[in-house]
Amino acid sequence: MKYAVAFTIGLAIAAGSVAAGVEQAIDDQILPGYAAFSDATAALRQTAMNDCTAAAIRPDWNGAMDAWLGVGHLRFGPAEAEGRATAIAFWPDTRGATARTLADLLIARDPVIDTPEGTATLSVAARGLYALELLLYDPQFDDNGAYGCALLRALTTDLAAMAASIEDEWQNGYADALRHAGDPGNDVFLSEREARQTLFTALLTGLEFIADQRLGRPMGTFERPRPARAESWRAGRSQRNVILSLRALSGLADALADSGTPRTDAAFSRAMDLADTLDDPVFGAVVDPTGRLRVEVLQQAVRDARETALMELGPALGVSAGFNSADGD
Amino acid sequence: MTRTLAAAVATSALVALPAFAVERSDVLETYADIAAAKYADSRDAARQLQTAIHKFIDAPSAEGLDAARTAWREARIPYMQTEVYRFGNPMVDEWEGRVNAWPLDEGLIDYVDPTYGGATDENEYAALNVIANPQFQLSGRTVDASRITPDLLQDVLQEADGVEANVATGYHAIEFLLWGQDLNGTDAGAGDRPWTDYASGDDCTNGNCDRRADYLRVVTDLLVDDLDEMARAWGANGAARADLTADEEAGMAAILTGMGSLSYGELAGERMKLGVLLNDPEEEHDCFSDNTHESHYYDGVGMQNAYLASYTRMDGSVVSGPSPSDLVAAADPQVDAQLRERLDASVEALDRVRDAANDGMAYDMMLARGNAEGEKLVMDAVDALVAQTRAIERAVAALDLGAIEVEGSDSLDAPDAVFQ
């Protein structure tokens, strides 16, 4: 299916309720979500400034990760600008670039991190939440002395700055552009349909990411399961990431169409129930057939939620799926 | 003569009238005609490459290696223009990995520098080196590789152990065998494999020159065969043409899907933006030869000539006809004008990258940390491709393209089943 962007035919419903869906998504999901992420990363930075031991920083790192999962599917506009979303969340890392780039920095004691401007020029593999996870949880990065401490402070400062920029740009311009899609002079969204399509595409892409990456990577093939490819396994929160991202996507779907999509609601409920009750925090059980099957059942439920939204919510919004950044290889 | 000419003009004006309303079926046929021409050109250019490589292997020399490298660069020109067909047409997408899979863990194929490292968590066979090893263990069984055969490359080594980075066939495998690793990082310089890697007897460098030559010969022959297969698939009775033209609405959606997915997720995202964000020269599409600027440019040209339905063949002749642009213009002239403008803009931006590379700032140098000028060149092209994608989405809406091949699912077809 990687080649197929499915276009479903539009059956536009009354424009009023649809515009309300966009408004509700902005006010109930997007703006509070980015405010929470901005707050959580500011707290993480403050903690790292006060005490840069891994033990001290871990709880706030988890808080920032939780907050990111509330907005990580909204990879357009301010999050896409300057590659911010990629720098905040560089995963999956299929070529081991994060460990390699961090190790290079530590060996060289590279002074590029002495200023925020310098840190911002680093490879995205060495920035953001996943680079921090490696520094905080992987034994190979234990005890890097003063430079290790400086690196944690530089990366948390950089992360907080990116989160603040995204929030600021949403508050001061981008939310208005989305709200007033199709107004004269609005060259971001030329019609209300484009605003709905952008959010709808984010919903579908987010579900695809959970199924293909968060679940699909550790599943590997039946003969060759790959538990070490699970997301955030070092921090022990692979399953939690799935639960929280599903919850956020369900919220977005609700906001977009608060009534009249019973199949979509049911498909989300089923996927969330399965995710909640899995009891396999890092998907380690994929190595045995029964454990793998349980993850596969969840993966199928997430794919069903996507297809159901495509067939039911899409027509209700009068839009089809747009192109997304996962359309390539 | 003047009278004849006038009559001819009058006739063509008359027959042009009914064509004023462009038919979707004519647009689809033209699209398939152009695809057939591009794949035939790709196959013919690959045959030139094959000739150059056979000549080089038969009598290795520095000049022979240079000639093969030049032929490889030439062969990329028509091929990259076919990439626009990939994402919309299932047959092409399933086949594509055989000819253009990327990125690759080249240590699977041949010797590599010590800094490359060995097996990784992701790929146990990243440093297998089949050229040096006539026998090896793969996924729990012993493989006899004493002879380098097409089966060994395409059925055993390609995507070995289910890892996509195990690339044994296609342009990039050939590229590695002609250039070798580019060990210059983000500094100037491409791969610099000595021609003596293919020399016989005591002149042979880096060992196993015979097996290396066998590999190069077999992998090049496979490329020609694979391209020939795809050229036929778009011919008069070919399966890819039949798939495209079976349903006019689905066919039009396939055309625009191919343009949009290549513009955004693949070229702007995976191949360009990610490399800048990672500052990683390994993220360059033609990383051994430093030919990336040309490949990206011809991707852009291929999207433009698919939309305008006018392709200039390698021999200078032109294949053209009713275009997707004509159809979109009939539905909404503004949408068509915007898309044409943005295609122009992205081709221009990609051309600026190409100019800079030809003036000495190679594509991998543009990816260096702190190279603001290089980053701007690449990101301007990325932005142009993203803007073009939005215009393609508007064209999809303007043509009011309906549902294509949405697979059924339990939750829709049998709502109760999901709760069992």
> Which pLDDT value is given to residue B188?
85
The pLDDT value recorded for residue B402 is 54
CB B207 within 8 A of CB B111: yes
Contact list, B88 vs chain A (CB under 8 Å): 3
B118 in contact with chain A, both atoms CB, cutoff 8 A: no
For residues A146 and A66, membership in a common domain is answered with yes
**CATH number of the structural domain spanning residue A230:** 1.20.120
Instruction: Answer yes or no: do B389 and A324 touch at CB < 8 A.
Output: no
Mean pLDDT of B130-152: 96
Strand, coil or helix: what is A253?
Answer: helix
Q: What is the pLDDT of residue A142?
A: 85
pLDDT at B374: 95
What is the arithmetic mean of pLDDT over A76-102? 93
DSSP state of B284: -
Q: Angle at which helices B324-331 and B24-58 pack, to 10 degrees?
A: 150
Q: Are residues A133 and A257 in the same domain?
A: no
Residues A174 and A201 in one domain: no
Question: Is B112 a domain residue?
Answer: no
Based on the fold, state whether residues A88 and A155 are members of the same structural domain: yes
Position A229 in a domain: yes
Let me know whether A203 and A171 are in one domain. Answer: no
Residue pLDDT, tens place only, B183-209: 988 888 899 999 999 999 999 999 999
CB B87 within 8 A of CB B257: yes
Q: Round to whole Å and give the CA distance between A4 and B177.
A: 34
pLDDT higher than threshold 90 for residue B128: yes
The verdict on residue B315 lying in a domain is yes
pLDDT at B417 over 80: no
Position A321 scores a pLDDT of: 82
pLDDT at B413 over 50: no
Q: Are residues A209 and A308 in the same domain?
A: yes
Contact B84, B78 (CB under 8 A): no
- The string of pLDDT tens digits covering residues A104-133 is 999 999 999 999 999 999 999 999 999 999
pLDDT bracket for residue B283 (50, 70, 90): confident
**Percentage of chain A surpassing pLDDT 70?**
92
Q: Are B295 and B286 spatial neighbours (Cβ–Cβ below 8 Å)?
A: yes
Residue B30 pLDDT exceeds 60: yes
Residue B343 has pLDDT above 70, yes or no: yes
B23 touches chain A (CB under 8 A): no
- pLDDT band of residue A327 (cuts 50, 70, 90) is low
Chain B residues within an 8 Å CB radius of A123: 277-280, 369
Tokens of A58: 């871990």
Q: What chain A residue is nearest to B102 in terms of C-alpha separation?
A: A329
Domain-located, residue B409: no
Q: Which residue has the higher pLDDT, B241 or A2?
A: B241
Q: Is there a contact between B412 and A221 if contact means CB atoms under 8 Å apart? A: no
Average pLDDT score over residue span A53-57: 96
What mean pLDDT do residues A80-106 have?
92
Long-range contacts of B323-330 (CB under 8 A, 24+ apart): B323/B22, B323/B27, B323/B30, B324/B27, B324/B31, B324/B252, B324/B255, B324/B256, B324/B395, B326/B22, B326/B27, B327/B22, B327/B24, B327/B27, B327/B252, B327/B399, B328/B395, B328/B398, B328/B399, B330/B21, B330/B22
Q: Spell out where B265-320 has E strands.
A: 310-312, 318-320
Scan residues 225-244 of A and list those with Cβ closer than 8 Å to B: 228-229
pLDDT of residue B243: 96
3-class secondary structure, A325: coil
Of the three residues A133, A153, A179, the one that is the final residue of a domain is: A179
In A51-144, where does DSSP find H-type helix? 54-69, 84-88, 97-108, 116-120, 128-137
**What is the extent of the structural domain holding B375?**
23-104+167-398
Rg (CA), chain B: 23
What local confidence, expressed as pLDDT, does residue A144 receive? 83
Give yes or no for a contact between B231 and B78, defined as CB atoms under 8 angstroms apart: no
The arithmetic mean of pLDDT across residues A155-163, rounded, is 98
Residue A7 pLDDT greater than 80, yes or no: no
> With 70 as the cut, is the pLDDT of residue B416 above it?
no
- Say which DSSP state B282 is in: G
Collapsing DSSP to helix, strand or coil, B312 comes out as: strand
Q: Is A6 on the interface with B (CB under 8 A)?
A: yes
Instruction: Please tell me whether residues A157 and A61 are part of one structural domain.
Output: yes
* Mean pLDDT, chain B, integer: 90
Look up residue A95 and give its DSSP letter. Answer: T
Is position A228 within any domain? yes
Q: Report whether pLDDT(B104) > 50.
A: yes
- Write the CA distances from A142 to A93, A136, A150, A156, B368, integer angstroms: 21, 8, 14, 17, 29
Residue B266 has pLDDT above 80, yes or no: yes
CATH number of domain containing B183: 1.20.1420.20
Give the distance, in angstroms, between the CA of residue B262 and the centroid of all CA atoms in the same chain.
10
pLDDT of residue B6: 41
φ, ψ dihedrals at A142, nearest 5°? -65, 145
The helix/strand/coil state of B318 is: strand
Where does the pLDDT of residue A229 fall: very low under 50, low under 70, confident under 90, or very high at 90 and above?
Answer: very high
Look up the domain containing A270 and give its range: 192-317
Position B342 in a domain: yes
User: In A, which residues are within 8 Å of B396 by CB distance?
Assistant: 7, 320
In a domain, B152, yes or no: no
Cross-chain residue pair B370–A121, CB shorter than 8 Å:
yes
CATH of the domain at A170: 1.20.1420.20
A202 vs B: CB within 8 A: no
Cis geometry, peptide bond prior to residue A289 (ω within 30 degrees of 0):
no
Which of residues 234 through 263 in chain B touch A, CB cutoff 8 A? 253, 257, 260-263
In this structure, of A227-236, B102-111, B335-344, B397-406, the range with the lowest mean pLDDT score is B397-406
pLDDT at residue B15 greater than cutoff 60: no
Residue B388: list chain A partners with CB under 8 A.
Answer: none
- With respect to residue A311, please indicate whether it lies within any of the assigned structural domains: yes
Amino acid A207: pLDDT: 98
Give residues with Cβ within 8 angstroms of A168, minimum separation 6.
none
Using alpha carbons, select from B231, B227, B220 the residue that is nearest to residue B49: B220
* CB contacts, 8 Å: B269 with chain A: 325, 328
pLDDT class of A13 with cuts at 50, 70, 90: very low
> Does residue A92 have a cis bond before it (omega within 30 degrees)?
yes
- State whether A155 and A200 are in the same domain: no
Only one residue has tokens 């297969």, namely: B229
Determine contact: A11 vs chain B, CB below 8 A. Answer: no
Task: Taking residues B393-404, report their average pLDDT.
Answer: 79
Chain B residue whose CA is closest to A307: B409
Task: Report, as an integer, the average pLDDT of A74-90.
Answer: 95
Is pLDDT above 70 for B391?
yes
Please name which of A97, A79, A16 lies closest in space to residue A206, comparing C-alpha atoms: A79
pLDDT confidence of residue B9: 41
Domain boundary among A157, A179, A201: A179
A83: alpha, beta or left, given left = phi > 0 and alpha = psi -120 to 50? left
- Beta-carbon contacts of A295 under 8 Å, excluding residues fewer than 6 positions away, are A215, A218, A219, A278, A280, A283, A285, A286
**A135 and A64, same domain (yes or no):** yes
pLDDT at B118 over 90: no
Same domain, residue pair A219 and A119: no
Is residue A224 domain-shared with residue A286, that is, in the same domain? yes
Task: Taking residues B366-373, report their average pLDDT.
Answer: 92
Task: Identify whether B111 is part of a domain.
Answer: no
The whole-angstrom distance between A101's CA and the closest CA on chain B is 9
Tokens at A167, concatenated = 């929030």
Query: What pLDDT is stored for residue A6 in this prediction?
Result: 35
The answer to whether B418 contacts A266, with C-beta atoms less than 8 Å apart, is yes
The SS3 assignment for B142 reads: strand
| H or E element, residue B302 | helix B292-308
Distances in whole angstroms, Cα of residue A125 to Cα of each of A53, A209, B271, B299:
22, 19, 16, 27
pLDDT in the model for residue B395: 95
pLDDT band at B37 (very low <50, low <70, confident <90, very high): very high
Structural domain count, chain A: 2
Q: Flag whether pLDDT at B400 surpasses 70.
A: yes
For A265-308, the DSSP string reads: HHHHHHHHHHHHT---TT-GGGGSHHHHHHHHHHHHHHHHHHHH
Instruction: Provide the 10 A C-beta neighbour count for residue B264.
Output: 26
Q: In this structure, are A38 and A155 located in the same domain? A: yes
A24 has a chain B CB within 8 A of its CB: no
What ipTM describes this predicted complex?
0.80
User: Is any Cβ of chain A less than 8 angstroms from the Cβ of B335?
Assistant: no
Instruction: Give which of B264, B269, B230, B304 is closest to B79, Cα–Cα.
Output: B230
Token pair in block for residue A271: 């996927």
Report the alpha-carbon distance of residue A318 to residue A196 in Å, rounded.
8
Tell me which of A251 and A12 has the higher pLDDT: A251
Contact B398, B328 (CB under 8 A): yes
Mean pLDDT of B24-44: 98
Domain boundary among A129, A149, A179: A179
CB atoms within 10 A of CB B186: 19
CB contact under 8 A, A307 and B419: no
* Residues B238-247: tens digit of each pLDDT: 999 999 999 9
The SS3 of residue B23 is coil
How high is the pLDDT of residue B140?
87
